[in-house]
Amino acid sequence: MRQLTREELAIDPVDAAKLLLGCVIETSSPQGPVAVRLVEVEAYRGGDDPASHCYRGKTPRNEVMFGPAGHLYVYFVYGMHFCANIVCLTDGVPGAVLLRAGEVVEGLDLARVRRPAARNTHDLARGPARLTGVLGIDRAQNGVDLTAPDAEVRIYKSDPAGEIFAGPRVGVAVAMDIPWRFWIDSPAVSAYRRGGKRRQPAVS
DNA sequence: TTACCGATTCGCT
DNA sequence: GCGAATCGGTAAC
């Protein structure tokens, strides 16, 4: 298992999303390491993607997405959760891959301590905010270079992902016809929810 | 300056 | 299956 390089991640977000499936993201902390094998991701691309945070241009919040590929972009949602993205800037077009779900492969005990609400092992990192939860990622890790050998958060290439499935992104109302969500077979893949209104209205 | 709402999760029914 | 918790960015006034 070797660390991914910045060059490998400086590609189109859709290709980066497929590349990252099956890869392992690991965090170091005083309490110990936790590593997660990615089983579900989503691609976001600036310019032509209205759902992307960088669609409307550079702001202090999203400036990391306009920087070098291979860095971590962390943002705060719903007043209580963090979501993590891997930047994959190409040809000046900002893009990122949202880490949606994974399987804990190292630091299981610490992961359980960080997420006591999880019913079982597969629930620990099933969902973007849960994934940042087990890894201990918050605003402090925004902008970390995942390709640096001594970074507190790192990304490793692991076994080939196998068959890759695709579908519309979760919680996103626009571009529903474009399958920018990718996952591999795993019990840790999160449940699909349609975007737009709070909840999908009953079809009657 | 203010109001609205989101790349969500959890607990209760 | 449904609604609350909770706050920063964005757009409108």
What is the spatial distance, in angstroms and rounded to an integer, between the CA atom of A173 and the C1' atom of B2? 26
Residue at A118 is within a domain: yes
Residue A160 has pLDDT above 80, yes or no: no
Residue A166 has pLDDT above 60, yes or no: yes
Residue at A195 is within a domain: no
A100 band by pLDDT with thresholds 50, 70 and 90: very high
Residues 96-155/A with CB within 7 Å of nucleic chain B are 96, 98, 115, 117-118, 127-131, 133
Q: Stretch A144-157: mean pLDDT, rounded?
A: 96
Residue at A58 is within a domain: yes
Highest mean pLDDT among A54-58, A132-136, A196-200: A132-136
Residues 54-73/A with CB within 7 Å of nucleic chain C are 56, 59-62
Residue at A47 is within a domain: yes
pLDDT (0 to 100) of residue A167: 94
pLDDT (0 to 100) of residue A197: 52
Question: For A59, phi and psi rounded to 5 degrees?
Answer: -135, 165
CATH (domain of A176): 3.10.300.10
Residues 2-41/A with CB within 7 Å of nucleic chain B are none
What is the spatial distance, in angstroms and rounded to an integer, between the CA atom of A3 and the C1' atom of C8? 34
Range of the domain at A66: 2-184
Residue at A191 is within a domain: no
Q: Stretch A172-198: mean pLDDT, rounded?
A: 86
Residue at A189 is within a domain: no
Spatial contact of A43 and A196, defined as CB atoms under 8 Å apart: no
pLDDT (0 to 100) of residue A35: 98
A198 CB contact with strand B at below 7 Å = yes
Residue A137 has pLDDT above 80, yes or no: yes
A199 CB contact with strand C at below 7 Å = yes
Residue at A100 is within a domain: yes
Indicate the helix (H) or strand (E) that contains A199.
none
Counting the structural domains of chain A, the total is: 1
- Within 10 A of A201 (CB to CB), how many other CB atoms are there? 9
Residue A57: name the closest of A92, A21, A105, A22 by CA: A92
pLDDT (0 to 100) of residue A198: 47
Nucleotides in chain C near protein beta carbons (<7 Å): 2-3, 5-11
A80 CB contact with strand C at below 7 Å = yes
Q: Stretch A70-84: mean pLDDT, rounded?
A: 95
pLDDT (0 to 100) of residue A77: 94
Residue at A131 is within a domain: yes
Residue A70 has pLDDT above 70, yes or no: yes
Residue A160: name the closest of A12, A24, A33 by CA: A24
What is the spatial distance, in angstroms and rounded to an integer, between the CA atom of A172 and the C1' atom of C9? 17
Task: Locate the DSSP E strands across chain A.
Answer: 2-3, 24-27, 34-45, 72-77, 81-87, 95-106, 153-157, 164-167, 181-184
pLDDT (0 to 100) of residue A50: 87
